[in-house]
Amino acid sequence: MLLQLNKIFKWVNSGGQRVFLLKDFNLEVEEGEFISIMGPSGSGKSTLLNIIGMLDNFDEGEYNFMDESVHTLKEKHRANLYKQYIGFVFQAYHLIDELTVYENLEMPLLYKKISSSERKALVADMLDRFNIVGKQKLFPMQLSGGQQQLVGVARALIGSPKLILADEPTGNLNSKQGEEIMEIFKQLNKEGVTIIQVTHSEKNAAYGSRIINLLDGRMV
Amino acid sequence: MFKNYLKIAWRNLAKNKGYSAINIGGLALGIAVTIIIGLWVQSELSYDNHFENKDKIAIVFQSQTFNGNTGTGPAIPRPLEKALRDDYSSNFKYLIMSSWTNKVYLKYKETSLYKSGNYMQRDAPELLNLEIIKGEKDGLREINSIMLSESIANALFGTEDPIGKVVKVRNQDDLVVSSVYKDIPFNTTFNDTYYIIPWEQYLASREWVRNSEDEWGNNSFQMFVQVADNVDMDKVSTTIKDVKKTLNEDTAAFNPQLFLFPMKDWYLRNSFKNGENDGGGRIKYVWLFAIIGAFVLLLACINFMNLSTARSEKRAKEVGIRKSIGSQKGQLIYQFLSESFLVVVLAFLVSLLIILISLNGFNDLAKKEILFPWSNVNFWLISLAFILFTTLLAGSYPALYLSSFKPIDVLKGTFKTGKHAGLPRKILVVVQFTVSVAFIIGTVIVMQQINYAKNRPVGYDKEGLVQIPTYSQDFEGKYDLMRSEFLNSGAVIEMSASSSPTTQIWSNRSGYTWDGKPVGFQEDLAYTEVTYEYAKSINLKIIEGRDFAREFATDSNAILINQTAVKYLGLTNPVGKFLRDDSEENPNPPLKIIGVVQDMITSSPYEPVKQGVYVFDKHGNSSYYNLRLNPKQSASKNLVTIEKVFKEHFPDIPFQYDFVDAEYGEKFASEERIGTLSGVFTGLAILISCLGLFGLTSFVAEQRTKEIGVRKVLGATIFNVWNMLSKDFLKLVIISCFIAIPIAYYVMNGWLEAYPYRVTLKWWIFVLAILGALLVTILTVSFQAIKAAKANPVKSLRTE
């Protein structure tokens, strides 16, 4: 078992009323799964992904990640946990504009305090694997959207995470670029990486081994 | 990691050049001001540090009380020396009698100089730590010797070896150069002691000094001491307190109190009130400027904070990404502090450049000789500490603010800083403008006070009046001749001589009696001896009676008094009354008051005129010729003529002269320096605040681009938009004014109280300051506001 959500509630207070983003939500994810989360806007997809990624808190319930109970951890421990095991891929890529491709890839390794020689080797591997060696000195703004997302995936992958969380990774890409990214995910999943993606596209969802449909904060 | 942080910081700076320039430039200005003020403060605090035994050295002070007014100063009588040497010698390592520091003529072959120095006793070279370049350290052993400073020796002797050569002093005494010492540094009390001549020579060459051996009432000398190694200065001071009072009955009525005034307080804390050191003096300006420096730095740091947090939306995304990748809050704080560090280091480098360029100008303004301490390790260590301090001061708030963003908020792309996010920024702007407005008001009041005192009627006409110093024996008996020569030359229309310059009081007298003098009244009168035509030459108005006149032979025993003296002495119809100088052993004829002259300012222009008497100069004791220049010719032409006449009669004496109005202007030098410096610093403070405001407006305008676009589409005029953007800032500045005004009022009122003759604070100064601040704000804000208002709305809306 990689992670387990138990009776998760998440709400916001709006105009004196409690609006539930997630309501009594339960989920178990085994290692090696490829899960697609679908549902209309506002159904709680992103909220769920953020909670799994430990970027967001929940109000009630239990969350166990690799036998650690996340809800009892302090922020620092939580950051250590996701730094170690989770990689994020965003719809808007979210690369740091002031850093080159190479430096963007290197950044997670810096936070993991990996030695300089090892960093070089790892970044070189990644550049090689994604065929972007020639672009390593460019800044994100000098790349196409597809290329930026490639770097985004490479960055998520460089710390060898167990789990990749992707929030509409192809949302800003054309279909060809999107397909490329999905193929990479498929390949990664074969290599044993667990993937959870949020998507609007039936086609992309089909890459996954399991589809979760959300409506108003509940699984349907 | 640190490298990575610096890299990203550098790229951020390079990307936003305008922002970086404002940020670094403003901070650099602030740092430069702080460092320059720091160097100045250091130089003030280290005054007299040149002397190794600074803590052990003192000058003997005496306070005496006349009619309830206690005067305190370094003047002591000669018999005190013997008293201290006989009974208290174990307390002192050195005890040195000294003359005042006076200018004399020094001549060797054809070269003649007019330089200041002292007559001192033999231990002076030890006390002053003189660094002997040539000759012996014990250079005051022989009565006919003279020790010269290096600069004077070079000027007199050039390449010749000065040792053993004869210098003619005052065109009268032949003294042999015994040694040459390195010039005493500028930053010391003795920086104008260019020569030292043995005390014995002082006695030998001046009868009045010789005669003063037992005169307890003749306070005409100074005494420097270094206390013995094992004794406490305060104790010695208490021990000698009543020496004069016990030994001399005649002066006991004035309650003479002696004490040691330690060297460490000479320069900074030399203010006395009722015989007690009140701790005041230059030290208050040291504090004032230290505070100004701290505030200017604070203003610059506030700019940095405001601009950094205003830009936060741009940096928010990065914070989100970094957090999602695994950065902890601490690491982000560290990152933003490293960025601040980089900015501060850059600003520091720029500030070094600014200092390099402006230090000479500052030295001129502040009358200092501050050198940049390139080779001083401590300076660089302090600078490093200063950089770190500034980094923390300027960087903490932005670092804490930026690192607290929640990643999911900022990554969703819906991130907007909340309604109250601008509040700390507003508070900081208010702080900035409060300081600036207070500075403006302070500076205006200082300037006003100076002008007020400058415009005070001096009582005589100082324009076109020239004085020539004549305290050398060569001038004795030559007055009448010189007067006719000068008058005949056509360059001078009137001339007189006096025992002190018109701008100063050199002597005070007491011991007169007159009809109606209250019992026990101890008067204290400013005393000047003058020749015929004194009043006429300086245009001093005779209010009652008449001036000294040649046709009245009895005028040699006549006296003029000033208006204040009339009241002070309690005389009605003073003309025709007598002042008697009635010591028993010396029965002088009574002095007849023949006239009352207008009060003239002889000492501080900020104080009431002192009661004074002008006595006819019977003995040719003049120290100055007062020459009224011919107004029909240019001053320079007159001076050429005067010099020619002077040289005909005194070929060996360098021609020295001062314009009286310039000499009078010297009285304002200290206040004017304060005024100019605070003016400069105020200007910089305002500039820094405006830089910040400018940056802030540009961000606000950028942030509200869409809003401005929508408003314009809906019909807003340029004026509406300008008004909308400026209003917020103007509100803040007005709030600042209302905080600054009471503070400035309170502080400046306190400052003015030190001046008996002072300007009254007027309401319009404050209104002026408010208007000034508003004007500056409007100008600063308008540039960006109008730019934003004029932008084509279609363009700004399309980008959304």
Query: What would the pLDDT profile of B176-234 be if each residue is shown by its tens digit?
Result: 999 999 999 999 999 999 999 999 999 998 888 898 888 888 888 999 999 999 899 99
B687 and B716 co-located in one domain: yes
Q: Which of B629, B652, B675 is the last residue of a domain?
A: B652
First to last CA, chain B: 36
Q: What average pLDDT score do residues B682-700 get?
A: 86
Looking at per-residue pLDDT, the higher value among B88 and B416 belongs to B88
Checking if the pLDDT of A111 tops 50, the result is: yes
Cβ <8 Å between A94 and B324:
yes
Residue B661 lies in a domain: no
Q: Kindly report the average pLDDT of chain A as a whole number.
A: 89
Query: What would the pLDDT profile of B632-650 be if each residue is shown by its tens digit?
Result: 999 999 999 999 999 999 8
Residue B748: domain span: 424-457+667-800
Taking a contact as any Cβ pair under 8 Å apart, which residues of chain A between 44 and 103 contact chain B?
46, 50, 53, 55-56, 75-76, 79-80, 82-84, 88, 90, 92, 94-99, 103
- Highest mean pLDDT, choosing among A102-106, B93-97, B241-245: B93-97
Question: Would you say the ipTM is above 0.85?
Answer: no
Looking at per-residue pLDDT, the higher value among A7 and B523 belongs to A7
For residue B36, name the pLDDT band (cuts at 50, 70, 90).
Answer: very high
Query: What would the pLDDT profile of B459-479 be if each residue is shown by its tens digit?
Result: 899 899 999 988 777 788 888
Beta bridge partners of A211: A36
Please return the burial class of B773, using the count of CB atoms within 10 Å of its CB with bins 0-12, 13-18 and 19+: buried
Distance CA B588, CA B590 (A): 6
Cβ <8 Å between B8 and A88:
no
Q: What pLDDT shows up at residue B583? A: 65
Instruction: Using an 8 Å CB-CB cutoff, list chain A residues near B328.
Output: 75-76, 79
Q: What average pLDDT score do residues B398-416 get?
A: 76
B405 to chain A: closest CA residue: A55
Q: What pLDDT shows up at residue B413? A: 59
Residues 6+ apart with CB under 8 A from B640: none
Q: What average pLDDT score do residues B351-366 get?
A: 92
Checking if the pLDDT of B785 tops 80, the result is: yes
Q: Does A124 touch chain B (CB under 8 A)?
A: no
Max CA pair span of chain B: 107
Q: What pLDDT shows up at residue B800? A: 38
Q: What pLDDT shows up at residue B762? A: 86
B449 and B479 co-located in one domain: no
Count: domains in chain B:
4
Q: Does B473 touch chain A (CB under 8 A)?
A: no
B491 and B535 co-located in one domain: yes
B573 and B436 co-located in one domain: no
Report the phi/psi class of residue B158: left, alpha or beta, with left for phi > 0 and alpha for psi in -120 to 50: left
Query: What would the pLDDT profile of B333-354 be if each residue is shown by its tens digit?
Result: 988 899 899 999 999 999 999 9
Q: What pLDDT shows up at residue A44? A: 87
Q: Does B407 touch chain A (CB under 8 A)?
A: yes
Instruction: Using an 8 Å CB-CB cutoff, list chain B residues near A84.
Output: 326
Tell me the one-letter amino acid at B20.
S
Cβ <8 Å between A111 and B325:
yes
Distance CA B377, CA B29 (A): 23
Residue B168: other Cβ atoms inside 10 A: 16
Query: What would the pLDDT profile of B521-576 be if each residue is shown by its tens digit?
Result: 878 889 999 999 899 999 999 999 999 988 888 888 899 999 999 999 888 888 88
Query: What would the pLDDT profile of B649-682 be if each residue is shown by its tens digit?
Result: 988 788 889 999 998 988 888 888 888 888 888 8
B703 and B794 co-located in one domain: yes
Checking if the pLDDT of B411 tops 80, the result is: no
B736 and B756 co-located in one domain: yes
Closest CA–CA distance from residue B409 to any residue of chain A (Å): 9
Residue B245 lies in a domain: no
Report the phi/psi class of residue B539: left, alpha or beta, with left for phi > 0 and alpha for psi in -120 to 50: left
Q: What pLDDT shows up at residue B218? A: 85
For residue B32, name the pLDDT band (cuts at 50, 70, 90).
Answer: very high
B519 and B439 co-located in one domain: no
For residue A62, name the pLDDT band (cuts at 50, 70, 90).
Answer: very high
Residue B64 lies in a domain: no
Residue A200: domain span: 3-219
B79 and B145 co-located in one domain: yes
Please give the order of strands across the beta sheet that includes A60-65.
Answer: A17-29, A3-14, A60-65, A68-69
Instruction: Using an 8 Å CB-CB cutoff, list chain A residues near B11.
Output: 98-99
Instruction: Using an 8 Å CB-CB cutoff, list chain B residues near A90.
Output: 411
Residue B248 lies in a domain: no
B729-732 contacts, C-beta under 8 A, 24 or more apart: B729/B429, B729/B693, B729/B696, B729/B697, B729/B777, B729/B781, B730/B774, B730/B777, B730/B778, B730/B781, B732/B426, B732/B429, B732/B430, B732/B433
B321 to chain A: closest CA residue: A94
Residue B657 lies in a domain: no
Query: What would the pLDDT profile of B41-68 be if each residue is shown by its tens digit?
Result: 999 999 999 998 999 999 999 998 877 7
Give the CATH number of the domain where residue A63 resides.
Answer: 3.40.50.300
Q: If you ran DSSP here, which 8-state letter would residue B610 be given?
A: P
Looking at per-residue pLDDT, the higher value among B312 and A7 belongs to A7
Residue B524: helix, strand or coil by DSSP?
coil
Distance CA B524, CA B535 (A): 22
Closest CA–CA distance from residue A197 to any residue of chain B (Å): 16
Q: Does B3 touch chain A (CB under 8 A)?
A: no
Query: What would the pLDDT profile of A76-106 be if each residue is shown by its tens digit?
Result: 788 788 888 999 898 888 888 888 999 999 9
Residue B243 lies in a domain: no
Angle at B543 between CA B540 and CA B547, to 5 degrees: 60
A9 phi/psi in degrees, rounded to 5 = -120, 135
Q: What is the share, in percent, of chain B residues with pLDDT greater than 70?
A: 97
Q: Does A11 touch chain B (CB under 8 A)?
A: no
Residue B253 lies in a domain: no
Query: What would the pLDDT profile of B563-617 be if each residue is shown by its tens digit?
Result: 999 999 888 888 888 888 776 666 778 889 999 999 999 888 888 899 999 999 8
pTM: 0.81
B409 and B431 co-located in one domain: no
B503 and B356 co-located in one domain: no
B511 and B409 co-located in one domain: no
B329 to chain A: closest CA residue: A76
Angle at B83 between CA B80 and CA B89, to 5 degrees: 115
Q: Does A1 touch chain B (CB under 8 A)?
A: no
Cβ <8 Å between A88 and B317:
no
Q: Kindly report the average pLDDT of chain B as a whole number.
A: 88
First to last CA, chain A: 22
Distance CA B433, CA B415 (A): 31
Q: Are strands B525-530 and B612-616 parallel, antiparallel or unpaired?
A: parallel
Closest CA–CA distance from residue B389 to any residue of chain A (Å): 27
Residues 6+ apart with CB under 8 A from B359: B36, B370, B372
Residue B642 lies in a domain: yes
Cβ <8 Å between A55 and B327:
no
B780 phi/psi in degrees, rounded to 5 = -65, -45
Q: Mind spelling out the 3-state secondary structure of B674-716?
A: HHHHHHHHHHHHHHHHHHHHHHHHHHHHHHCHHHHHHHHHCCC
Count: domains in chain A:
1
Closest CA–CA distance from residue A42 to any residue of chain B (Å): 13
Residue A119: other Cβ atoms inside 10 A: 18
Q: What pLDDT shows up at residue B727? A: 87
Distance CA A129, CA A147 (A): 13
B405 and B492 co-located in one domain: no
User: Are the C-beta atoms of B415 and B679 separated by less than 8 Å?
Assistant: no
User: Are the C-beta atoms of B75 and B291 separated by less than 8 Å?
Assistant: no
B371-375 contacts, C-beta under 8 A, 24 or more apart: B372/B39, B373/B39
Checking if the pLDDT of B281 tops 90, the result is: no
Q: What average pLDDT score do residues B149-173 get?
A: 92
Q: Does A172 touch chain B (CB under 8 A)?
A: no
Residues 6+ apart with CB under 8 A from B631: B464, B493
